[in-house]
Amino acid sequence: MNKASKFIYFITCYVFFIFTDLYLSQIMVEKITGGYTLSNPVFSLNYVKNTGAAFSILQDSRELLIILSVVALVLLAMYVINHLKSISLKMCFFITILSAGIAGNLHERIALGYVRDYFQLNFIHFPVFNISDIFINVGVIALIILILLKKTK
């Protein structure tokens, strides 16, 4: 696959995941605030306005979190653009998931002043999270695995 095709693939995946994240998050929040409830032994829906980052660190540090998010997105985009020739499609795919997760949380921080979290795990004490957080974690874990697999070859 040539560089232009990889770049188009990156942008297409990125836009798809951002819109999916924002659309599903909006539906989830509308349902929960409209009175819909769901709770089982695995998870429940619990709407929380999070002014911090993961595990409630950096509470009320909106500007810092916005700056860190923008820096992360710029660095990820620069990496993809500078390595289009050698980057694998798997690596590109998981960078788009990670980037879309960061962008989804960034959008909410800028537009709302907080991030909307709504998934709560019931079988373990864990912070409430959202779809963007899932994208970020899947992206990071997959990229670590791909990097480790590449190093062992």
Choosing from 50, 102, 117, 119, the catalytic residue is 117
Q: Residue 128 has which token pair?
A: 């409430």
Residue 60 catalytic?
no
Beta bridge mates, 129 = 119
Residue 86: HSE in the Cβ half-sphere, 13 Å Cα cutoff: 4
CA torsion angle 4 21 70 107 (round to 10): 130
Question: Do residues 17 and 97 touch, judged by C-beta distance below 8 A?
Answer: yes
Query: Alpha helix (H) ranges present in the chain?
Result: 3-33, 62-82, 89-112, 131-152
What's phi and psi for 148, nearest 5 deg?
-65, -40
Tokens of 92: 């590109």
Q: Which of 76, 133, 135, 139 is catalytic?
A: 133
Q: For this structure, is 133 an active site residue? A: yes
Hey, which residues are catalytic here?
A: 117, 133
